[in-house]
Amino acid sequence: MSSALLIEDLVKRFATGKPAVDGVSFDVPAGEIVVLLGPSGCGKTTTLRCVAGLEHPTGGRISIGDRIVSEPERGVLVSPRERDIGMVFQSYAVWPHMTVYQNVAYPLKYRRSSGGGDIAAKVRDTLELVGLGDYAQRSVTSLSGGQMQRVALARSLVYRPQLLLLDEPLSNLDAKLRIRLRDELRRILKQTGMTGLYVTHDQSEAVVLGDRIGVMREGKLLQMAPPDEIYNRPADPFVANFTGASNVLLGKVLARSGDKATIDLGAAGRIEAWTPQPLSPGDKARVALRAENVRLGERGPANAFSGRITERRYQGMQTVYDVEFGGQRVEVLELGTAARHTTDGEIALTLPPDQCWAYRDEGQASVD
């Protein structure tokens, strides 16, 4: 039995406006955690709620394990309670009129196929797992936000569903707690071998928790890949920008062979870049580049320029420089508590070709 989620060409249209989810396809192999990442309104939560059965898709197919749970074309719609899923909600959704124990035991009592067995022992084990072993008889309203989220997690793990859905579970917590719970969540999920679909707008959560990350925008899945690939080989200018490649150089394609392209930046000269797209000479291009990948004060073997620092912003742990070269502007970020460069005179800079990513320029003003 393979325990997994398969989504094919999912479409969800609400009464008005553009589709909230527009032809999304991906799969989640058993034991893997897939994170859907994107700005608010990108359709990630709608996708998740379609998988849960809380939203009814307009098209496409969703299968959980061996079973099709939603396929509007054939009139198939399995209710949430029969999908064998667990879900952790953004608002925790722990029931305030029940104790911690009652919350966690609830699904065991009421699920049709709870597998029987000793409810008390299962609840105890799960509460231990999430670190709430001593809290079973507490009223949930006496708990902190982080503890409530643990109750919600325990409640969705206790019956060991095939698939765990997590809807921005950490977004209501304060920053420090979020980081701690994020790392712990990864440990718990991996320890239980859960298959998970996780929705967030927070990149650091996505990177830590996800075996793969899917970046979404306006209802479309732009890229689905392991975190390092998302960060080093973004397939789309939006992905590049969303994950932090905030520098954009505009130019024209001179030549391309395979995934290497040469772009003419005008007065600044030429630049070598990696590209995931079949660019042809003459195309308008935009080159995306992370601020921390620019090497300031170095003249490398390729893409070396000389420019001028127009502004320096010291930020304590890091320093940000605005650098101008040949009519182009880039932001450069260097870690360290000491700022190494001054605003006087010329300075060498290298934009490593492997970390410059060229895309067709479709006038994406909306990238931000």
59 DSSP assignment: E
Residues 165 and 51: beta-carbon distance below 8 Å = yes
Closest CB to another protein among 150 and 286? 150
User: Taking CB under 8 A as the rule, which mask of x and - marks residues 144-173 in contact with another protein?
Assistant: --------x--xxx-xx-------------
User: Taking CB under 8 A as the rule, which mask of x and - marks residues 107-126 in contact with another protein?
Assistant: x--xxx-x---------xxx
Task: Determine which residue in the list 11, 93, 320, 367 makes contact with another protein, applying CB under 8 A.
Answer: 93
CB of 13 to another protein, least distance (A): 15
CB of 124 to another protein, least distance (A): 6
Say whether residue 61 binds another protein (CB under 8 A): yes
Element (H, E) at 318: strand 318-325
- Which residues ranging from 187 to 216 are in contact with another protein (CB under 8 A)? 191-195
Closest CB to another protein among 188 and 333? 188
10: closest CA among 68, 51, 64? Answer: 51
Say whether residue 15 binds another protein (CB under 8 A): no
SS3 of residue 197 by DSSP: strand
Task: Determine which residue in the list 11, 13, 23, 32 makes contact with another protein, applying CB under 8 A.
Answer: 32
Say whether residue 90 binds another protein (CB under 8 A): yes
The number of C-alpha atoms within 13 Å of 216 and in the hemisphere containing its C-beta is: 31
Task: Determine which residue in the list 120, 141, 298, 314 makes contact with another protein, applying CB under 8 A.
Answer: 141
Q: How far apart are CA 191 and CA 15, in angstroms?
A: 42
Strand 196-200 relative to strand 212-217, pairing: unpaired
Residues 93 and 74: beta-carbon distance below 8 Å = no
CB of 27 to another protein, least distance (A): 6
CB of 52 to another protein, least distance (A): 6
Say whether residue 320 binds another protein (CB under 8 A): no
Q: How far apart are CA 64 and CA 272, in angstroms?
A: 44
User: Taking CB under 8 A as the rule, which mask of x and - marks residues 267-286 in contact with another protein?
Assistant: --------------------
Q: How far apart are CA 33 and CA 213, in angstroms?
A: 9
Q: How far apart are CA 267 and CA 312, in angstroms?
A: 24
SS3 of residue 32 by DSSP: coil
Say whether residue 304 binds another protein (CB under 8 A): no
Say whether residue 139 binds another protein (CB under 8 A): yes
Beta strands in 159-283 (DSSP E): 163-167, 196-200, 212-217, 220-225, 247-257, 260-264, 270-274
49: closest CA among 28, 27, 80? Answer: 80
Element (H, E) at 332: strand 328-335
Task: Determine which residue in the list 80, 278, 297, 326 makes contact with another protein, applying CB under 8 A.
Answer: 80
Q: How far apart are CA 79 and CA 342, in angstroms?
A: 63
CB of 192 to another protein, least distance (A): 5
Closest CB to another protein among 155 and 201? 155
Q: How far apart are CA 45 and CA 61, in angstroms?
A: 17
Number of residues interacting with another protein: please give it, by CB under 8 A.
67
Task: Determine which residue in the list 14, 18, 39, 67 makes contact with another protein, applying CB under 8 A.
Answer: 67
Say whether residue 79 binds another protein (CB under 8 A): yes
CB of 180 to another protein, least distance (A): 19
Please name the residues in contact with 161: beta carbons below 8 A apart, sequence gap of 6 or more. Answer: 84, 85, 86
Q: How far apart are CA 156 and CA 135, in angstroms?
A: 17
CA dihedral for 276, 277, 282, 288, sign (positive or negative) = negative
CB of 39 to another protein, least distance (A): 21
Say whether residue 318 binds another protein (CB under 8 A): no
Closest CB to another protein among 111 and 270? 111
Q: Which residues bind another protein (CB under 8 A)?
A: 1-4, 6, 8, 27, 29-32, 52-54, 61, 63, 66-69, 71, 74-82, 85-87, 89-91, 93-97, 106-107, 110-112, 114, 124-126, 128-129, 133, 139-141, 152, 155-157, 159-160, 191-195
